[in-house]
Amino acid sequence: MQVKRLDRPRSTSYRRRALLLLTALVPLAVIIAVLAWTLQDGAGPTRTPDNGHGKDAAGAFFLSATAVLVCCFLAGNVAARLHQPRVMGEIAAGIVLGPSILGTVSPEAFSWLFPDGVLPLMEGLAQVGLVLFVFGVGREVSSLQLRNTTAQALTITQASLLVPLASGMAAGLVLIDGFKPPGIPSGAFVLFIGCALSITAFPVLARVISETGMTDSRAGQLSLIAAAIGDGGSWILLGMVLAMAHGSGFLGIGLTTVAVTAVVMVFLGPLRARLSRYTGTQGQTTTNTALAVLAIAVVAAAAATSALGVHQLIGAFLVGVVWPTRNPSATAAATLASRACMILLPFFFFGFGLAIDLTTLLSGRGFLGVMTGLLAVAILTKIGGAGLGARLSGVPWREAYTVGVLLNTRGLTEIIVLRIGYDAGIIGHDLLAVLTAVALFTTFMTGPLLKVAGHQRNEAQKPSSEDEPQELTEHPRSASKT
């Protein structure tokens, strides 16, 4: 006799997904409404017939936003089918919608679809998404519990960070004459190039490790810890570079960075412990309060670091580092940040696509040769430095190679760093295009290089489930065992 298997009712799952979706859409609707209201000069609806397609300001914005979201969603699906991180497809979509492709093929269509009036609104959404994303990265980095890090992991971290940093600074010295913008200190330019080439994309790396089944492997755990420590150091170093670019002396740079870090640690550190104890024993009301405190803390820290001459993302990252990670409020905060980033980050990719013009690489001024040279430096120093550090610490050659390949993943983190440097005037649009190509190439090649070592993507694990939203970074918690 056959026994019917009693399946779990799907209505509960649907309600849960609907609630999660509303959690992200309600704040987004409020943000969009406020931004749309700022376009109006007075009471009542204000029409702007010269916005490109005869719509009012809000209608023009929603049309442009729809185009961005749809293109990024479709491109992310294509990247997933090609066994690449979804974020790579979304970045490519932003570039396609920018002057590199759409603006070159059909300038009229570009102007009609993205009139000048909507661009500041989309940039505002992009900044909100970036702040939440970097907060999530800081939170995931802190959850690895690095206090138990071994000497082996520290050796790999130092090699994977310092070797590319030094090599990138050497490359920056070569590029000063042809690429340094006027008015930018040479030290800031050189240090920024080194910082850009030493970055590892922690969220993308975590996803690659999960998909290839290396969650519990020594190579996967060592790579995660090295990336976490390296990313933390890189963000602090980036803050120093920005302060240097703004004209502060070296002592002023160090004092500013230390002051920002100390303020966040001192004021939010005790708050983290108290909030963790309080929300561990209270109900839903306290969780909602924690979310409100979270929003205030992230926005205030971003504003404070920006006022001090350090980029606002540095403040968001530090808040993420000290925020509780083991209680209901932490789960709610991660969910909110994840859903908001899924909707808001495409606007950053679009804004990045506006700033970059990849046709620069084919302009005949030697940019293609510069890109090839920087690509070689980025790959050899990251894979070689991290791999050699792993081998010297006792890791077998095959695993050492795997560690180097994993840490060569740059992805979204470097794209964000490059945009920060471009906005600060440290690099121009030509070098932005070159370094973007380097970031994309090094990320795309991670999968094929891992196959050389015998690591295949787990086909049973989809890169992005259509039924269950993914976490912001999706790193394996078992990394804290190292």
472: confidence class by pLDDT, cuts 50, 70, 90 = very low
Crossing angle (nearest 10°) for helices 411-423 and 86-96:
40
Output the pLDDT for position 293.
74
**Res. 477: pLDDT tops 50:** no
Residue the block writes with tokens 């719509």: 55
How far is C-alpha 259 from the geometric centre of its chain's CA atoms?
24
| 127-142 average pLDDT score | 82
**Res. 169: pLDDT tops 90:** yes
What are the pLDDT digits (tens) for 41-50? 444 444 444 4
Residue the block writes with tokens 């010269």: 50
CA distances for 257 relative to 97, 463, 481, angstroms: 37, 37, 31
Output the pLDDT for position 162.
92
CA distances for 353 relative to 71, 108, 240, 279, 414, angstroms: 13, 17, 26, 41, 14
Q: Are 433 and 367 in contact (CB under 8 A)?
A: yes
254: confidence class by pLDDT, cuts 50, 70, 90 = low
Question: What would be the CATH architecture of the domain defined by 15-481?
Answer: Up-down Bundle (1.20)
**Res. 251: pLDDT tops 70:** no
Q: What is the CA radius of gyration of the chain?
A: 23
pTM of the model: 0.74
Burial class (CB in 10 A: 0-12, 13-18, 19+), 130: buried
52: left (phi over 0), alpha (psi -120 to 50) or beta: left
Output the pLDDT for position 466.
35
> Where do the structural domains in the chain lie, given as residue ranges?
15-481
Output the pLDDT for position 178.
85
| 450-469 average pLDDT score | 52
Q: d(Cα 91, Cα 468) in Å, to the nearest integer? A: 22
Tokens for 176? 């000063």
CA distances for 464 relative to 124, 378, 414, 443, 470, angstroms: 27, 28, 22, 18, 7
Between residues 157 and 212, the one the model is more confident about: 157
**Res. 426: pLDDT tops 90:** yes
Q: Are 401 and 382 in contact (CB under 8 A)?
A: no
**Average pLDDT taken over every residue of the chain:** 76
Instruction: Please state which of the ranges 252-266, 360-374, 392-406, 446-460 shows the lowest mean pLDDT.
Output: 252-266
Output the pLDDT for position 56.
72
Output the pLDDT for position 25.
47
Output the pLDDT for position 280.
57
217: confidence class by pLDDT, cuts 50, 70, 90 = confident
Output the pLDDT for position 43.
42
What are the pLDDT digits (tens) for 330-358? 776 677 677 777 888 899 989 888 888 77
Instruction: Please state which of the ranges 200-209, 304-313, 317-326, 451-460 shows the lowest mean pLDDT.
Output: 451-460
**Res. 480: pLDDT tops 90:** no
**Number of residues assigned to the chain:** 482
Q: d(Cα 178, Cα 406) in Å, to the nearest integer? A: 32
Instruction: Please state which of the ranges 154-158, 166-170, 210-214, 346-350 shows the lowest mean pLDDT.
Output: 210-214
| 294-314 average pLDDT score | 80
Output the pLDDT for position 148.
54
Q: Are 383 and 405 in contact (CB under 8 A)?
A: yes
Instruction: Please state which of the ranges 285-289, 375-379, 386-390 shows the lowest mean pLDDT.
Output: 285-289
383: confidence class by pLDDT, cuts 50, 70, 90 = very high
